[in-house]
Amino acid sequence: MSDLTDRLVQGLPDGAVVVDPDVTAAYRHDMAGFCAAGQPAAVVFPETVEQVRHVLRTATELRVPVVPQGARTGLSGAANAVDGCVVLSLVKLNRILEIDPVNRIAVVEPGVVNAELSRAVEELGLSYPPDPSSWESCTIGGNIGTGAGGLCCVKYGVTSEYVLGLDVVLADGRLLFTGRRTAKGVAGYDLTRLFVGSEGTLGVVVRAVLSLRPAPAPQLALAAEFPSADTAGAAVCEVMARGLTPSLMELMDAVSVRAVNELGRMGLPESTQALLLVAFDGPDRVAELARVARLCREAGATEVVPAEDEAESDLLLAARRMALPALDRLGTTMIDDVAVPRSRLAEMLNGVAVIAERHGLTIGVVSHAGDGNTHPIVIFDASDEEETARAQRSFDEIMALGLELGGTITGEHGVGLLKRDWLARELGPVALDLQRQLKAVFDPLGILNPGKMI
């Protein structure tokens, strides 16, 4: 038994330190492609805050890197192991400690699965809006680490809007409390939001006070078929410019529509170049949907199918939920996550089509259109080295295009390993310098998720 393992087991329950390489191999990486993953020295499963502190204190003393992990559903390699590290899995800190309908907060441990929390608060007439695609398996800790988004964001915003306070174990094992349990508060610098999206590079979140909302009414949706990205993009702009705020506004391109048809026999119109899905959940949803239907037709939609009820709405939206698995069947996929001002959405989509053509690749695009957040999905044959290189180049060109259009290299998936080199390009030298210094304040030895993000 190494010194590291020896020390770790002293403060952890039986079986909570795993060193068998056959087992630890499963904890080497998240769901991102193209990211290096090392071999951990150990994977640990603490069950209490005190045990997390023990792990961090040990790591600090022995100068061993620590890689925090949730459900490893991330798409940027932020949870990938580095050689000789301790993988700190938070999945056993998984209790919902409190749900308080009067103060509209939940207090949870980081290993709570998003869907579990969503269902628990729903029973009390509340909702926790952030809904990444992986919501059935991803954890709240991972959502906080990446600053996760989802389909709800056009109306309800992202994770960062829902985190009021955090308990964080620092690199040296100290316990930090940030934020508050109150609706408002401005006492001191906002450390809470600094941790949201910090990908485990500043500390380990061990408890979170989350803000909740009243559960919305069921969504009523429509689907609109457009002959081009330009017409669909114009419809999106019109809807937003008219002061309408849908609870969902998603755009699927021709590639993803066809993929979904193949997988699910959904009977979506094969001729479509862009399929827009729009939903409302407010008391005026019938009237709002009718207005959107009219705006879509005016913008050039060739067909508009409004759902009559909730069940029909669910059917329409199922197509969108199916897009990623459907595209995954076509080859190895590399999902990008570039957000642009929504007024530039059509330019982004047209630009991606040009990139796909230039590299002779299939790139399907699903977008949270209301947010201007596109997910171009590059499809390629991973056994073909040359094609893989083209895929990588097109992935980079998509990010460059996003920046050119006034956007960001990542709307909700994070930087991790995948986009680390691009972060510098987006931030510029002054911001990068400050970010590096901030990292050093929280983690002077550089043991927390080293090599990720910055």
> Toward its own copies, which CB reaches closer, 241 or 389?
241
311 binds its own copies (CB under 8 A): no
Query: Applying CB under 8 A, which of residues 409, 418, 447, 448 lies at the interface with its own copies?
Result: 409
434 binds its own copies (CB under 8 A): yes
> Toward its own copies, which CB reaches closer, 350 or 362?
350
Q: Taking a C-beta distance cutoff of 8 angstroms, is the pair 65, 82 a contact? A: yes
Region of 1-9, 156-164, 290-298, 325-333 interacting with its own copies (CB under 8 A): 156-164
Residue 69 pairs in a beta bridge with 89
> Tokens 């970010």 belong to which residue?
435
Binding mask 254-283 for its own copies (x = CB under 8 A): ----------------------------xx
> Tokens 């979506």 belong to which residue?
268
Instruction: Please report which helix (H) or strand (E) contains residue 30, including its range.
Output: none
Total binding residues toward its own copies, as defined by CB under 8 A:
90
119 binds its own copies (CB under 8 A): no
Residue 105 pairs in a beta bridge with 100, 211
> For residues 112 and 44, what is the distance between their CA atoms, to the nearest angstrom?
17
Least separation in angstroms between CB 452 and its own copies: 12
Between residue 91 and residue 110, which ones bind its own copies under the rule CB under 8 A? 100-105
156 binds its own copies (CB under 8 A): no
> Toward its own copies, which CB reaches closer, 62 or 176?
176
- In single-letter form, the type of residue at position 380 comes to F
> For residues 97 and 118, what is the distance between their CA atoms, to the nearest angstrom?
14
301 binds its own copies (CB under 8 A): no
Most distant CA pair in the chain, distance = 71
Between residue 34 and residue 93, which ones bind its own copies under the rule CB under 8 A? none
Query: Applying CB under 8 A, which of residues 135, 226, 395, 442 lies at the interface with its own copies?
Result: 442
125 binds its own copies (CB under 8 A): yes
Query: Applying CB under 8 A, which of residues 237, 248, 304, 391 lies at the interface with its own copies?
Result: 237
Give the count of beta carbons closer than 10 Å to the beta carbon of residue 102: 5
Give the count of beta carbons closer than 10 Å to the beta carbon of residue 309: 9
Give the count of beta carbons closer than 10 Å to the beta carbon of residue 130: 30
Between residue 171 and residue 230, which ones bind its own copies under the rule CB under 8 A? 174-178, 180-191, 193-194, 196-198, 202, 213-215
302 binds its own copies (CB under 8 A): no
Query: Applying CB under 8 A, which of residues 120, 170, 263, 400 lies at the interface with its own copies?
Result: 170
| Helix orientation angle between 254-264 and 310-328, rounded to the nearest 10 degrees | 100
Least separation in angstroms between CB 334 and its own copies: 18
Between residue 359 and residue 388, which ones bind its own copies under the rule CB under 8 A? 368, 370-373
Least separation in angstroms between CB 172 and its own copies: 10
Least separation in angstroms between CB 247 and its own copies: 14
- Alpha-helical regions (H) of 1-74: 3-9, 21-24, 49-62
> Toward its own copies, which CB reaches closer, 49 or 176?
176
> Toward its own copies, which CB reaches closer, 36 or 217?
217
Query: Applying CB under 8 A, which of residues 24, 160, 332, 392 lies at the interface with its own copies?
Result: 160
Region of 7-15, 255-263, 379-387, 423-431 interacting with its own copies (CB under 8 A): 423-431
158 binds its own copies (CB under 8 A): yes
Contacts of residues 7-13 at CB distance under 8 Å and 24 or more positions apart, as own/partner, are 7/58, 7/61, 7/62, 8/42, 8/44, 8/54, 8/55, 8/58, 8/86, 10/54, 11/50, 11/51, 11/54, 11/55, 11/58, 12/44, 12/45, 12/46, 12/51, 12/54, 12/55, 13/47, 13/51
- Alpha-helical regions (H) of 174-330: 191-195, 229-241, 254-264, 285-299, 310-328
